[in-house]
Chains A and B, each alone.
Chain A
Amino acid sequence: MKKNITVRTTNMSFQFEKRTICLTMFLTILGMVVFFLSLSLGKTFDPWAVLRVIFGQGSKTEYLLIVQYRMPRVIIAVMIGAALAVSGAILQGMIKNPLASPNVVGITGGASAAAITWITVFPALSIQYLPFAAFAGAMLNATIIYLLAWKNGMSPLRLVIIGIGMAAFTTALTSMMIVLGPTYVANKAMIWLTGSIYGASWAQITVYLPWIVIFLPASFILLRSLNVAQINDDIAIGVGSPLAKQRVIFLIIAVALAGSAVAIGGAITFVGLMAPHIARKLVGPSFGGVFPISALLGAIIVMIADLIGRTAFQPLSIPVGVFTAAIGAPFFIYLLLKNKS
């Protein structure tokens, strides 16, 4: 049996690995199961209500609860998870460092600082602009980090170290803004910073959707050049990749995906670190497989984290970010230990 399925036409060709396709299908089904569970679980577990609502038989309360409250929340979780995971995969490939992720290199920090500033300075303005503010902050911070790390060329490690420094800087800015802002904002900001999707609504989804629809496919189209870039700079240049230009494009995509995710869900950390690693373990280093698998994994991780957060400790509701950090930090440490050399 062949390992790959090849599709060829006169002007393009694709090669699909069977393993990747099987895994993608399996994870899609798993994701749908988790999605269904998330819809059914609340104060009580009632899958029949979900089915009734899906087939248009549900009562008004059931409809309100499931379609107006739970569904946007779960959809947001899926979108954020996928965006963060792909952003992390891009960064890890581009920086060639397995420890890179949106929060380590300061994208999350920049977006948080900008978003909190936005909330404190213009509390009246609509949330519609929040993703733009977060994106601008993330882009600004990423650019500063990139420039500061540039010294006769780019060293990935220096980039990470400077990213850590700038993350501290943005954290300081954020806490400054919180303390200086009005008191009622502080609590809201605090919850937001930990990463939560409490108040997800369909309006948020419509705000967020364009970012996903534009930048997620864009990363899939460009993944070929990332495959080359992750091997070695010299090889990439040798086979004709315009490396410096591509780096900028990938940085913009990574920042757009993670920055807008932070704008909606707050600082949900470590998803962008974990998902690509697990994906690479499952399907190998080629980005053709890594992208879809990590997007699915990211979505599942965030959905499960949110599900546990809102059901396990009732009546308390724990922000998603706490769970992703609680799983993610030990994972990071495991990576550090594994790379001991």
Chain B
Amino acid sequence: MKVLFNTATKRSFGLVMLLVFLSLLFIMSMKLGVHHTTWKNIISTFTQFNNSNEHIIIRDVRFPRSLIAIAVGASLGIAGALLQVLTRNPLADTGILGINGGASLFVVMATTLFSVSSLTQYTWIAFLGAAVFGSIVYVLGQTTKSEHSPIRLTLAGAAIAAFTMSLTNAFLVIDESGLQEVLLWVSGSIAGREMDMLLNILPYMVIGWVGSILIATKMDALMLGENIAKSLGQNTIWVKATMGVLVILLAGSAVAIAGPVAFVGLVIPHIAKYMVGLHSRWIILYSGVLGGCLLLISDLFSRLIAMPRELPIGATTALIGVPVFVYIARKGKYTS
């Protein structure tokens, strides 16, 4: 396998370069937009805030938005990396496997049926939805006790995704009030989110990130196969259960704040693997940073392509992600 960075030093260097790239994107994301701002304005927003329009836009709109993009991207990227090992499926993604769909169905149901509107409640409801539908798809994808068939899993995920999407649409049709706002959320959006929302959810995300980095050493063995991992003395059930909880934590919190953003979790781990090879801890780290980059790029694209209107970011990531999906699907061998 061709690997871009084949020693630990090179990998650390690569990570630093990616972090620099992420910071550059972050700055671009602060600068570019419908409202024109100068570099000086950006700096003075943080040094001497003066309540001018530019400063408010930068502080209250673009700054939180960019941070949310990074947090959501990192969470989805890492969730994808975990999921691909957990299901032994290169096509696994929280969107394709219906986990995002389940989380958003529960959130939409909660808002329309029980008029829930606080973000803390959103978060727990999203976790619940992700857990319920994630488990259903996981169980359905199993052929025997422990083996997963990638195709079955993808098919089960597609069915569950179609099911949740149709029910979500139904609830939206029933409750037309605020359709426009929810519509943007349902196709994935990080527009108009406030700093509070991020701070509310960040603890869960951080637990997910740190947990994933900690569990990564166990993943190396699991990647070789369940039996090998077992014979190396690993309690695979416990490891897999932990990974499952981490995926739900990461995907659920990402959906709670940004709606179902698909394909980040699919694309990112593959790029990470190409860069660092099969070293789980590095894959997780790279997936986090790359996920942040991808979401910032997608967000910039969504904002700038049809100014002053905005595309839902979920649509942009799908447009980027599907060609990768097709490429990976073509590489696989399918014998019926």
Q: Does A280 count as interface, using CB distance less than 8 angstroms?
A: no
Q: Which residue of A lies closest to B324 (CB)?
A: A165
Residues in chain B near residue A60, CB distance under 8 A: none
Residues in chain B near residue A239, CB distance under 8 A: none
Interface bin, chain B: 35 or more
Q: Which residue of B lies closest to A191 (CB)?
A: B173
A186 and B181 alpha carbons, distance in the complex (Å): 11
Contact indicator A175/B315 (Cβ below 8 Å): yes
Contact indicator B318/A172 (Cβ below 8 Å): yes
Residues in chain B near residue A164, CB distance under 8 A: 96, 154-155, 158
A147 and B186 alpha carbons, distance in the complex (Å): 31
Q: Does A32 count as interface, using CB distance less than 8 angstroms?
A: no
A194 and B171 alpha carbons, distance in the complex (Å): 10
A99 and B156 alpha carbons, distance in the complex (Å): 10
A262 and B312 alpha carbons, distance in the complex (Å): 24
* Contact flag A161-B163 (CB < 8 Å), given A168-B322, A176-B312: no
Q: Does B326 count as interface, using CB distance less than 8 angstroms?
A: yes
Identify which of A175, A318, A329, A337 contacts B163 (C-beta below 8 A).
A329
A127 and B246 alpha carbons, distance in the complex (Å): 49
Identify which of A148, A168, A180, A341 contacts B306 (C-beta below 8 A).
A180
Q: Mark B259-275, 1 if CB is under 8 A from A, else 0.
A: 00011000000000000
A67 and B172 alpha carbons, distance in the complex (Å): 31
Residues in chain A near residue B170, CB distance under 8 A: 194, 318-319, 322
Q: Does B310 count as interface, using CB distance less than 8 angstroms?
A: yes
Identify which of B174, B176, B325, B334 contacts A187 (C-beta below 8 A).
B176
Q: Which residue of A lies closest to B176 (CB)?
A: A187
Nearest CB of chain B from residue A339's CB, rounded to whole Å: 8
Nearest CB of chain B from residue A17's CB, rounded to whole Å: 29
Contact indicator A169/B158 (Cβ below 8 Å): no
Q: Mark A249-292, 1 if CB is under 8 A from B, else 0.
A: 00000000000000000000110000000000000000000000
Q: Which residue of B lies closest to A145 (CB)?
A: B326
Contact indicator B336/A167 (Cβ below 8 Å): no
Closest 8 CB pairs of A and B: A329-B163, A172-B318, A325-B166, A322-B170, A157-B334, A175-B187, A172-B315, A169-B322
Report which A residues bind B (CB closer than 8 A): 96-97, 99, 103-104, 148-149, 151, 155-158, 160-162, 164-169, 171-173, 175-176, 178-180, 183, 186-187, 190-191, 193-195, 269-270, 316, 318-319, 321-322, 325-326, 328-330, 332-333, 336-337, 340-341
- A sample of 10 inter-chain contacts (CB < 8 A) reads A168-B95, A168-B318, A173-B319, A176-B315, A179-B311, A179-B315, A318-B170, A322-B169, A329-B163, A336-B155
